[in-house]
Amino acid sequence: MNLLEVQEVSKRFGGLQALNRVSLHLREGEILGLIGPNGAGKTTLFNVINGVYRPEEGRVIFCGRDITGRPPYEIARQGIARAHQIVRPLNELTVLENVMVGACFGRENRPLREARQIALAVLEQVGLADKRDVEAAKLNVAEKKRLELARALAARPRLLLLDEVLAGLNPTEVAAMVGVIRAIRESGITILMIEHLMHAIMNVSDRIVVLDYGEVIAEGTPQEIAHHPRVIEAYLGDPRLSQSLLEANGGAG
């Protein structure tokens, strides 16, 4: 059974069609990469999936249930967590306390003692255990990204939405984070991730869906996507992206 099905979803902002009959699905246990040029509609799709926006048309089905237009807290309770592109930890709290908040407001309401146990395990999982007593404000960018991931994981999701968790990291940090993402999948969590870093997304995804101007223009394995004429065409308008696609293309063989 598909864990998530997005069926013909459309979302408009005034006269702008941000999503136009977008469909995609995620099988349990897979990593699906969502790519596309700036403004393609990737973040809007995340916002529809986790209930920030209600689409004008279409449906979102999670675990066989229609969750279209349900409020974000209810969708979180059902097992979808999201790591945001812009990381905003509770700065005066420690790393551990931040993650405990995630555990308390996750899939089930948890008592503090249990939330602490979960938070400790999750910090171990993302490689941040040694920083647990540090104030969140004192973390560097890479550590804040890990904290954001830990906060989302503490909700014990079945589906994790990752919005550019590799952005702003240096190559060593990217490689380490890719390792963490793989390990999360191994632990049984399904992942949908938006990423501009072409090498990394090609490397870590089982399948990739490409959005352009709010429409799905391609879907396939990283290999297929890297050679797809419509994808290359879509990316040619953006020199930075087309360069990274060409590099990934070479890397993908």
Site for ligand ATP in 161-180 (CB under 6 A): none
State the minimum distance, in angstroms, from the CB of residue 123 to ligand ATP: 28
Q: Under rule CB under 6 A, which residues in 12-41 are in contact with ligand ATP?
A: 13, 16, 18, 36, 38-41
Nearer to ligand ATP, 97 or 195 (CB): 195
Angle subtended at Cα 247 by Cα 243 and Cα 248, rounded to the nearest 5 degrees: 115
For residues 182 and 221, what is the distance between their CA atoms, to the nearest angstrom? 17
Residue number, 14 or 111, with CB nearest to ligand ATP: 14
Minimum CB separation from ligand ATP for residue 247, in Å? 19
Task: Convert residues 40-79 into a mask of x (bound to ligand ATP by CB under 6 A) and - (unbound).
Answer: xxxxx-----------------------------------
Which one, 211 or 252, has the nearer CB to ligand ATP?
Answer: 211
Q: How many CA atoms lie within 13 A of 124 on its CB side?
A: 6
Question: Which residues lie closer than 8 Å to 192 by C-beta, 6 or more apart?
Answer: 4, 26, 32, 34, 46, 49, 159, 160, 161, 162
Question: Closest distance between ligand ATP and the C-beta of residue 210, in Å?
Answer: 11
Determine if 82 is a binding residue for ligand ATP (CB under 6 A): no
CA–chain centroid gap for 105, Å, is 19
Integer Cα distance of 208 and 228 in angstroms: 11
Our CB check for ligand ATP shows the closer of 85 and 94 to be 85
| Spatial separation of the C-alpha atoms in residues 50 and 39, rounded to whole Å | 19
> CA of 168: how far to CAs of 158, 197, 200, 227, in Å?
27, 10, 13, 27
As measured in angstroms, the least distance from the Cβ of 132 to ligand ATP is 31
Q: At its nearest, how many Å lie between ligand ATP and the CB of residue 194?
A: 7
Q: How far is the CB of 42 from ligand ATP (least distance, A)?
A: 4
Question: Cα-flanking dihedrals φ and ψ of residue 108, to 5°?
Answer: -125, 155
Q: Which CB, 128 or 193, lies closer to ligand ATP?
A: 193
Name the residue nearer to ligand ATP (CB basis): 39 or 72: 39
Q: Which of 133, 136, 181 minimizes the C-alpha distance to 160?
A: 181
- Look at strands 207-212 and 31-35 and give their pairing: parallel
Minimal distance, residue 16 CB to ligand ATP, in Å: 6
Contacting residues toward ligand ATP, per CB under 6 A = 13, 16, 18, 36, 38-44
